[in-house]
Amino acid sequence: MSPRIGAVTLWVMAQDDALIERLEMYYDAVPRPRSRTEECGPFTLFLATSGWPYYARPRLGQAASATPDDVRQVLRRQQEIGVPQALEWVDEMTPGLAETVESVGVAVARCPLLVLEGTPRGYAGSARMLEPADRDTVVASRAAVSIGFTHGGTATGDEGIAERDAAMKSTFAQVDEALAARVVAGDIRFAGAFVPAEPELGPVGGGSYTPVGGVAEIAGVAVLPAFRRRGLAVQLSHVLAADALGRGVSTVFCSAQSDDVARVYERVGFRRVGTACIAEVNPDHG
């Protein structure tokens, strides 16, 4: 390796380290406006006061080497409170935690963590941002997302409009007054994907982002299996990233379920910088 190549490599690594630290700050900040916190050993437990439940994360600023007993303690506490037993963290910020969690019998999903470089590539197509007046459309798009994640991945399938409509009364799809207020304030932004030749079908996919301190995570991007392989997920990612940049966000990132899903984001201009870890205890886990 030449000195110049070595210097460039070190500079890129330093930039990625700074990015990951910024993402870690975001992960700690984003749940706080609608949750209360509880310190549990080396973890911070976020307890949502409205909407979807949160998780526990390694305490900010403390690169703790959690023990198996620490992990068991926080999972027991979540069980006592009646919230999902879930942990999330960035592998590069808390190295070794994945192996510790797995040692107590909890599976860890390792998800590619990606950051947008420059402006998003591609085009909006039939995807568009949804505004506060589009409340019913937001509900339908969130229902489509719930079906998309239930049948994850990028493969096509039979699940379509009927399944979306059946899911519209689910907890995930509903837009309560607290969420509606966040939409009006711009604290969360939603997008929907539509079939160009059949707009009357309504949204067949969706996604969102939450901006905090100049950083935004694109999350929940999914398309009904019956409408996959049409470029709709790429279009959703494009419009969400473009909207975030247009509203003053400087760092747009996302985590992907798999390498196949990561390749969808890479088509928009995202680059992998790390690994997001997610550990969830199944209801029947002892």
Q: Specify the pLDDT at position 51.
A: 76
270-280 and 86-90: which strand pairing? antiparallel
Q: Specify the pLDDT at position 18.
A: 87
pLDDT tens-digit profile of 59-93? 987 656 799 999 999 999 999 999 999 999 999 99
Q: Specify the pLDDT at position 283.
A: 47
Per-residue pLDDT band for 17 (boundaries 50, 70, 90) equals: confident
Proportion of the chain above pLDDT 70, given as a percent: 92
The CA distance from 216 to 78, in Å, is 27
The CA distance from 284 to 286, in Å, is 6
In order of 3, 163, 175, 257, the CA distances from 139 in angstroms are: 55, 14, 6, 23
Q: Specify the pLDDT at position 11.
A: 35
pLDDT tens-digit profile of 192-247? 999 999 999 999 999 999 999 999 999 999 999 999 999 999 999 999 999 999 99
CA 225 to chain centre: 19
Per-residue pLDDT band for 251 (boundaries 50, 70, 90) equals: very high
Instruction: Quote the mean pLDDT of the chain.
Output: 91
- Mean pLDDT for the stretch of residues 136-146: 97
For residue 150, is pLDDT > 70?
yes
Per-residue pLDDT band for 15 (boundaries 50, 70, 90) equals: low
For residue 5, is pLDDT > 50?
no
- Mean pLDDT for the stretch of residues 49-58: 88
Q: Specify the pLDDT at position 285.
A: 38
- Mean pLDDT for the stretch of residues 242-265: 95
For residue 35, is pLDDT > 70?
yes
Q: Reduced to 3 states, what is the DSSP secondary structure of residue 4? A: helix
Helix (H) or strand (E) holding 68: helix 68-81
For residue 12, is pLDDT > 50?
no
Backbone phi, then psi, for 46, in 5-degree steps?
-95, 120
Q: Specify the pLDDT at position 52.
A: 79
The type of residue at 88 is E
Q: Specify the pLDDT at position 184.
A: 96
